Structure 1
Amino acid sequence: MNKKILGACLLAFSPLWAHAATFDKFVPADSKIGFTYSQMGVSLDGEFKKFDGTLSFDPANAEAAKVTLSVPLSDIDTGSAEGNDEVANKDWFNTAAHPAASFESTAVTVDGDGYKVEGNLTIKGVSKAISFPATFVENGNTGTFEGKFVVQRGDFNVGEGAWSTFDIVANDVNVNFSIVAAQ
Protein backbone atom coordinates (compact mmCIF):
# COMPACT_ATOMS: atom_id res chain seq x y z
CA MET A 1 0.00 0.00 0.00
CA ASN A 2 2.84 2.45 0.78
CA LYS A 3 4.27 1.96 -2.70
CA LYS A 4 0.93 2.93 -4.22
CA ILE A 5 0.78 6.13 -2.16
CA LEU A 6 4.38 7.00 -3.07
CA GLY A 7 3.66 6.34 -6.74
CA ALA A 8 0.53 8.50 -6.65
CA CYS A 9 2.49 11.35 -5.02
CA LEU A 10 5.25 11.12 -7.59
CA LEU A 11 2.72 11.12 -10.42
CA ALA A 12 0.84 14.08 -8.92
CA PHE A 13 3.99 16.20 -8.58
CA SER A 14 5.62 15.24 -11.89
CA PRO A 15 4.10 18.21 -13.79
CA LEU A 16 5.91 20.54 -11.36
CA TRP A 17 9.23 18.86 -12.12
CA ALA A 18 8.56 18.93 -15.84
CA HIS A 19 7.93 22.67 -15.67
CA ALA A 20 11.35 23.46 -14.21
CA ALA A 21 13.51 24.34 -17.18
CA THR A 22 16.93 25.77 -17.72
CA PHE A 23 17.41 28.31 -20.47
CA ASP A 24 20.85 27.59 -21.86
CA LYS A 25 20.90 28.53 -25.56
CA PHE A 26 21.03 32.04 -26.95
CA VAL A 27 18.91 32.86 -29.99
CA PRO A 28 21.00 35.66 -31.55
CA ALA A 29 18.75 36.05 -34.60
CA ASP A 30 15.90 37.17 -32.31
CA SER A 31 18.10 39.21 -29.95
CA LYS A 32 19.43 42.76 -29.97
CA ILE A 33 22.24 44.55 -28.15
CA GLY A 34 21.90 48.24 -28.89
CA PHE A 35 23.40 51.47 -27.66
CA THR A 36 22.67 55.18 -27.69
CA TYR A 37 25.29 57.91 -27.49
CA SER A 38 25.47 61.64 -28.01
CA GLN A 39 27.73 63.25 -30.59
CA MET A 40 27.80 67.05 -30.77
CA GLY A 41 24.54 67.12 -28.79
CA VAL A 42 22.73 64.78 -31.17
CA SER A 43 21.49 61.43 -29.87
CA LEU A 44 22.54 58.52 -32.11
CA ASP A 45 21.68 54.84 -32.01
CA GLY A 46 23.73 51.81 -32.93
CA GLU A 47 23.87 48.10 -32.34
CA PHE A 48 26.18 45.15 -32.15
CA LYS A 49 25.15 42.69 -34.86
CA LYS A 50 26.59 39.53 -33.29
CA PHE A 51 27.32 37.98 -29.93
CA ASP A 52 28.11 34.58 -28.51
CA GLY A 53 28.43 33.11 -25.06
CA THR A 54 27.13 30.71 -22.49
CA LEU A 55 24.04 30.79 -20.34
CA SER A 56 22.51 28.78 -17.54
CA PHE A 57 19.29 30.27 -16.15
CA ASP A 58 16.55 28.45 -14.25
CA PRO A 59 13.75 30.87 -13.27
CA ALA A 60 13.08 28.73 -10.19
CA ASN A 61 16.72 29.10 -9.08
CA ALA A 62 17.76 32.45 -10.56
CA GLU A 63 20.52 33.05 -8.03
CA ALA A 64 22.47 30.12 -9.52
CA ALA A 65 22.41 31.76 -12.97
CA LYS A 66 25.60 32.19 -14.96
CA VAL A 67 26.15 34.10 -18.17
CA THR A 68 29.13 34.99 -20.34
CA LEU A 69 28.89 37.12 -23.45
CA SER A 70 31.43 37.90 -26.12
CA VAL A 71 30.60 40.69 -28.56
CA PRO A 72 32.78 41.01 -31.69
CA LEU A 73 33.47 44.74 -31.96
CA SER A 74 34.06 44.60 -35.72
CA ASP A 75 30.34 43.80 -36.15
CA ILE A 76 29.24 47.16 -34.80
CA ASP A 77 26.66 49.25 -36.64
CA THR A 78 26.95 52.93 -35.72
CA GLY A 79 24.48 53.93 -38.41
CA SER A 80 27.11 54.70 -41.06
CA ALA A 81 29.91 52.80 -42.81
CA GLU A 82 32.28 55.70 -42.03
CA GLY A 83 31.41 55.52 -38.33
CA ASN A 84 31.87 51.73 -38.31
CA ASP A 85 35.35 52.11 -39.80
CA GLU A 86 36.25 54.94 -37.40
CA VAL A 87 35.37 53.06 -34.20
CA ALA A 88 37.48 50.06 -35.28
CA ASN A 89 40.69 52.12 -35.22
CA LYS A 90 43.22 52.40 -32.40
CA ASP A 91 41.70 55.50 -30.77
CA TRP A 92 38.31 53.85 -30.29
CA PHE A 93 37.92 50.06 -29.93
CA ASN A 94 41.26 49.08 -31.49
CA THR A 95 39.71 45.90 -32.88
CA ALA A 96 43.07 44.68 -34.19
CA ALA A 97 44.33 44.30 -30.61
CA HIS A 98 40.96 43.86 -28.84
CA PRO A 99 38.52 42.13 -31.19
CA ALA A 100 35.74 41.58 -28.64
CA ALA A 101 34.12 43.05 -25.56
CA SER A 102 33.00 40.57 -22.92
CA PHE A 103 30.75 40.26 -19.90
CA GLU A 104 30.82 37.58 -17.21
CA SER A 105 28.26 37.48 -14.43
CA THR A 106 29.39 37.17 -10.83
CA ALA A 107 25.95 37.26 -9.14
CA VAL A 108 22.26 37.32 -9.97
CA THR A 109 19.73 38.19 -7.30
CA VAL A 110 15.96 38.47 -7.34
CA ASP A 111 15.00 42.15 -7.11
CA GLY A 112 11.27 42.86 -6.98
CA ASP A 113 9.71 41.64 -10.22
CA GLY A 114 13.11 41.35 -11.90
CA TYR A 115 16.73 40.65 -11.19
CA LYS A 116 19.90 42.47 -10.31
CA VAL A 117 22.81 41.25 -12.41
CA GLU A 118 26.39 41.86 -11.34
CA GLY A 119 29.49 41.04 -13.31
CA ASN A 120 32.63 42.18 -15.04
CA LEU A 121 32.58 44.06 -18.33
CA THR A 122 35.81 44.04 -20.33
CA ILE A 123 36.47 46.44 -23.20
CA LYS A 124 39.92 47.11 -24.70
CA GLY A 125 41.54 44.95 -22.03
CA VAL A 126 40.05 47.00 -19.17
CA SER A 127 37.68 45.17 -16.79
CA LYS A 128 35.17 46.96 -14.57
CA ALA A 129 32.51 45.63 -12.23
CA ILE A 130 29.01 46.64 -13.29
CA SER A 131 25.53 46.06 -11.94
CA PHE A 132 22.18 46.50 -13.66
CA PRO A 133 18.52 45.54 -13.41
CA ALA A 134 17.08 43.00 -15.83
CA THR A 135 13.78 41.29 -16.48
CA PHE A 136 12.93 37.86 -17.86
CA VAL A 137 9.69 36.90 -19.56
CA GLU A 138 9.13 33.23 -20.32
CA ASN A 139 7.17 32.31 -23.45
CA GLY A 140 6.96 28.54 -23.85
CA ASN A 141 10.39 27.10 -24.66
CA THR A 142 11.95 30.55 -25.03
CA GLY A 143 12.35 33.55 -22.80
CA THR A 144 13.52 37.14 -23.20
CA PHE A 145 15.97 38.97 -20.97
CA GLU A 146 15.76 42.77 -21.15
CA GLY A 147 17.76 45.45 -19.44
CA LYS A 148 19.92 48.51 -19.79
CA PHE A 149 22.93 50.12 -18.21
CA VAL A 150 25.29 53.04 -18.76
CA VAL A 151 28.93 52.62 -19.70
CA GLN A 152 31.31 55.52 -19.37
CA ARG A 153 33.52 55.10 -22.40
CA GLY A 154 36.40 56.95 -20.73
CA ASP A 155 36.63 54.20 -18.09
CA PHE A 156 37.56 51.76 -20.88
CA ASN A 157 39.79 54.10 -22.94
CA VAL A 158 37.26 54.13 -25.76
CA GLY A 159 38.03 57.37 -27.51
CA GLU A 160 41.69 58.19 -26.95
CA GLY A 161 43.82 61.10 -28.11
CA ALA A 162 41.70 63.93 -29.47
CA TRP A 163 38.59 61.91 -28.60
CA SER A 164 39.43 61.57 -24.88
CA THR A 165 37.49 64.72 -24.01
CA PHE A 166 33.72 64.53 -23.93
CA ASP A 167 32.83 67.75 -25.72
CA ILE A 168 32.25 66.10 -29.13
CA VAL A 169 31.26 62.57 -28.11
CA ALA A 170 29.68 62.24 -24.67
CA ASN A 171 31.19 59.96 -22.04
CA ASP A 172 27.92 58.12 -21.28
CA VAL A 173 26.91 55.30 -23.62
CA ASN A 174 23.51 53.77 -22.86
CA VAL A 175 23.49 50.04 -23.58
CA ASN A 176 20.15 48.26 -23.95
CA PHE A 177 19.51 44.62 -24.68
CA SER A 178 16.74 42.22 -25.51
CA ILE A 179 18.25 38.74 -25.55
CA VAL A 180 16.20 35.69 -26.39
CA ALA A 181 17.17 32.31 -24.93
CA ALA A 182 15.84 28.80 -25.46
CA GLN A 183 15.69 25.70 -23.28
Structure 2
Amino acid sequence: TWKASQSWTIIDNYEVKFTSEDPSGVFTSLKGDVVFHPEDLSSSYFNMTIDVKSINTGNGMQNQHAVSAEWMDAEKYPEIKFASRNIEATDKGYVAHGKLKMHGVEKDFDIPFKFEKNGSKGVFKGKFDVNRNDFNIGVPGKKASDVLHMEVTVPVSTK
Protein backbone atom coordinates (compact mmCIF):
# COMPACT_ATOMS: atom_id res chain seq x y z
CA THR A 1 0.00 0.00 0.00
CA TRP A 2 1.13 3.53 -0.74
CA LYS A 3 2.00 5.69 2.25
CA ALA A 4 2.47 9.43 2.19
CA SER A 5 5.68 10.81 3.58
CA GLN A 6 5.36 11.86 7.19
CA SER A 7 6.12 15.39 8.40
CA TRP A 8 8.13 15.42 11.60
CA THR A 9 8.80 18.17 14.13
CA ILE A 10 12.25 18.41 15.71
CA ILE A 11 11.86 18.14 19.47
CA ASP A 12 14.20 19.09 22.29
CA ASN A 13 17.35 17.18 23.19
CA TYR A 14 18.81 17.14 19.69
CA GLU A 15 22.60 17.02 19.48
CA VAL A 16 24.92 18.33 16.81
CA LYS A 17 28.36 17.32 18.12
CA PHE A 18 31.73 17.74 16.49
CA THR A 19 35.10 16.34 17.49
CA SER A 20 38.59 16.78 16.11
CA GLU A 21 42.18 16.88 17.34
CA ASP A 22 41.71 20.44 18.58
CA PRO A 23 38.23 21.97 18.84
CA SER A 24 35.33 19.82 19.95
CA GLY A 25 31.86 20.85 20.99
CA VAL A 26 28.26 21.26 19.91
CA PHE A 27 25.97 23.55 17.96
CA THR A 28 22.95 24.30 20.15
CA SER A 29 20.58 25.66 17.49
CA LEU A 30 19.10 23.37 14.83
CA LYS A 31 15.88 23.95 12.93
CA GLY A 32 14.33 22.80 9.70
CA ASP A 33 11.84 20.73 7.77
CA VAL A 34 11.87 16.95 8.06
CA VAL A 35 9.59 14.94 5.77
CA PHE A 36 10.41 11.23 5.86
CA HIS A 37 8.82 7.85 5.38
CA PRO A 38 10.96 4.73 4.80
CA GLU A 39 8.44 3.43 2.25
CA ASP A 40 8.22 6.72 0.35
CA LEU A 41 11.80 7.95 -0.01
CA SER A 42 11.05 9.78 -3.27
CA SER A 43 8.87 12.27 -1.37
CA SER A 44 11.14 12.45 1.68
CA TYR A 45 13.47 15.38 2.29
CA PHE A 46 15.49 17.34 4.84
CA ASN A 47 15.98 21.10 4.85
CA MET A 48 18.09 21.92 7.91
CA THR A 49 19.72 25.07 9.31
CA ILE A 50 22.30 25.50 12.08
CA ASP A 51 22.95 28.90 13.67
CA VAL A 52 26.74 29.31 13.54
CA LYS A 53 26.72 31.53 16.65
CA SER A 54 25.23 28.63 18.64
CA ILE A 55 28.64 26.90 18.71
CA ASN A 56 29.76 25.82 22.19
CA THR A 57 33.22 24.35 22.68
CA GLY A 58 33.09 24.70 26.46
CA ASN A 59 35.62 27.55 26.20
CA GLY A 60 34.32 31.11 25.81
CA MET A 61 37.48 32.40 24.10
CA GLN A 62 37.50 29.44 21.71
CA ASN A 63 33.81 30.07 20.91
CA GLN A 64 34.58 33.72 20.06
CA HIS A 65 37.53 32.66 17.92
CA ALA A 66 35.42 30.04 16.08
CA VAL A 67 32.78 32.60 15.00
CA SER A 68 35.36 35.29 14.14
CA ALA A 69 36.18 36.43 10.60
CA GLU A 70 39.30 34.23 10.66
CA TRP A 71 37.23 31.04 10.99
CA MET A 72 33.46 30.62 10.59
CA ASP A 73 32.80 34.38 10.11
CA ALA A 74 29.33 34.23 11.68
CA GLU A 75 28.59 37.89 10.92
CA LYS A 76 28.95 37.32 7.17
CA TYR A 77 27.81 33.66 7.11
CA PRO A 78 25.39 33.19 10.04
CA GLU A 79 24.01 29.79 8.99
CA ILE A 80 25.06 26.32 7.93
CA LYS A 81 22.44 24.76 5.66
CA PHE A 82 21.81 21.27 4.33
CA ALA A 83 19.09 20.56 1.78
CA SER A 84 18.62 17.01 0.55
CA ARG A 85 18.11 16.33 -3.14
CA ASN A 86 17.15 12.70 -2.67
CA ILE A 87 17.30 9.97 -0.03
CA GLU A 88 18.18 6.35 -0.66
CA ALA A 89 18.14 3.19 1.42
CA THR A 90 21.46 1.43 2.07
CA ASP A 91 22.42 -1.79 3.82
CA LYS A 92 23.27 0.28 6.93
CA GLY A 93 20.28 2.65 6.88
CA TYR A 94 19.89 5.62 4.55
CA VAL A 95 21.89 8.32 2.79
CA ALA A 96 20.64 11.85 2.20
CA HIS A 97 22.27 13.26 -0.95
CA GLY A 98 22.14 17.04 -1.13
CA LYS A 99 23.91 20.37 -0.81
CA LEU A 100 25.81 21.55 2.25
CA LYS A 101 26.36 25.30 2.42
CA MET A 102 28.61 27.00 4.92
CA HIS A 103 30.97 29.92 4.91
CA GLY A 104 29.57 30.98 1.52
CA VAL A 105 30.54 27.70 -0.17
CA GLU A 106 27.96 25.18 -1.38
CA LYS A 107 29.01 21.60 -2.17
CA ASP A 108 27.39 18.29 -3.00
CA PHE A 109 27.32 16.36 0.26
CA ASP A 110 26.10 12.97 1.49
CA ILE A 111 24.90 12.35 5.03
CA PRO A 112 24.50 8.70 6.05
CA PHE A 113 21.90 8.18 8.77
CA LYS A 114 19.70 5.72 10.60
CA PHE A 115 16.09 6.21 11.63
CA GLU A 116 14.38 4.55 14.59
CA LYS A 117 10.61 4.98 14.83
CA ASN A 118 8.59 4.43 17.99
CA GLY A 119 4.92 5.26 17.49
CA SER A 120 4.50 9.00 16.93
CA LYS A 121 8.16 9.66 17.73
CA GLY A 122 11.45 8.83 16.09
CA VAL A 123 15.17 9.54 16.13
CA PHE A 124 17.50 10.30 13.24
CA LYS A 125 21.18 9.55 13.87
CA GLY A 126 24.01 10.39 11.50
CA LYS A 127 27.81 10.34 11.51
CA PHE A 128 29.93 12.04 8.86
CA ASP A 129 33.08 14.09 8.38
CA VAL A 130 33.43 17.69 7.17
CA ASN A 131 36.75 19.02 5.89
CA ARG A 132 36.96 22.73 6.77
CA ASN A 133 39.28 23.36 3.80
CA ASP A 134 36.46 22.34 1.41
CA PHE A 135 34.52 25.35 2.71
CA ASN A 136 37.45 27.82 2.97
CA ILE A 137 37.23 27.94 6.77
CA GLY A 138 40.38 29.10 8.50
CA VAL A 139 43.86 28.94 7.03
CA PRO A 140 44.92 25.58 5.54
CA GLY A 141 47.70 23.93 7.52
CA LYS A 142 47.05 25.85 10.74
CA LYS A 143 47.33 23.79 13.91
CA ALA A 144 43.55 23.25 13.97
CA SER A 145 42.30 19.96 12.58
CA ASP A 146 41.20 19.93 8.95
CA VAL A 147 38.48 17.34 9.53
CA LEU A 148 35.58 17.66 11.94
CA HIS A 149 33.85 14.42 12.88
CA MET A 150 30.14 15.19 13.11
CA GLU A 151 27.64 13.18 15.13
CA VAL A 152 24.02 14.28 14.85
CA THR A 153 21.07 12.96 16.88
CA VAL A 154 17.68 14.47 16.09
CA PRO A 155 14.59 13.31 18.00
CA VAL A 156 11.33 14.07 16.20
CA SER A 157 7.59 13.69 16.67
CA THR A 158 4.74 13.74 14.20
CA LYS A 159 3.14 17.11 13.52
Corresponding residue SS for 1:34: strand
Contact 2:5 2:40 in 1 (8 A): no
Contact 2:4 2:40 in 1 (8 A): no
Which structure: larger Rg? 1
What CA distance in whole angstroms lies between the structure 1 residues aligned with 2:90 and 2:43? Answer: 14
Tell me the equivalent position of 1:141.
120
- In structure 1, stretches of 5+ residues that fail to align are 1-15
What CA distance in whole angstroms lies between the structure 2 residues aligned with 1:46 and 1:122? Answer: 20
Identity of aligned residues (%): 25
How big is each residue's C-alpha offset from its partner over 1:124-162, in whole Å with a ceiling of 9 and x where there is no partner?
A: 110011113210000121110111111110111111xxx
Alignment of 1:63-82 (within 5 A): 63-82=42-61
What CA distance in whole angstroms lies between the structure 2 residues aligned with 1:125 and 1:165? Answer: 17
1:47 to 1, 13, 26: 26
Tell me the equivalent position of 2:135.
156
Change in Cα spacing, 1:155 to 1:113, as seen in structure 2 (3 Å) is closer
Contact 2:83 2:100 in 1 (8 A): yes
Shift of 1:22: 1.2
Higher helix share: 1
The number of residue pairs the alignment matches comes to 158
Contact 1:23 1:181 in 2 (8 A): no
What CA distance in whole angstroms lies between the structure 2 residues aligned with 1:66 and 1:73? Answer: 22
Tell me the equivalent position of 1:31.
14
Amino acid at match of 2:37: D
Shift of 1:165: 2.9
What CA distance in whole angstroms lies between the structure 1 residues aligned with 2:4 and 2:33? Answer: 19
Contact 2:5 2:43 in 1 (8 A): no
| Structure 2 residue 152 is matched with structure 1 residue 168 | no
Amino acid at match of 1:168: K
How big is each residue's C-alpha offset from its partner over 1:37-88, in whole Å with a ceiling of 9 and x where there is no partner?
A: 112xxxx521000111111112221232111111000010012111111111
Tell me the equivalent position of 2:36.
57
2:84 to 98, 101, 105: 105
Change in Cα spacing, 1:20 to 1:139, as seen in structure 2 (3 Å) is farther
User: What TM-score do you get using the length of structure 1 for normalisation?
Assistant: 0.80
Q: CA RMSD in A?
A: 1.8
What CA distance in whole angstroms lies between the structure 1 residues aligned with 2:78 and 2:140? Answer: 24
Contact 1:63 1:110 in 2 (8 A): no
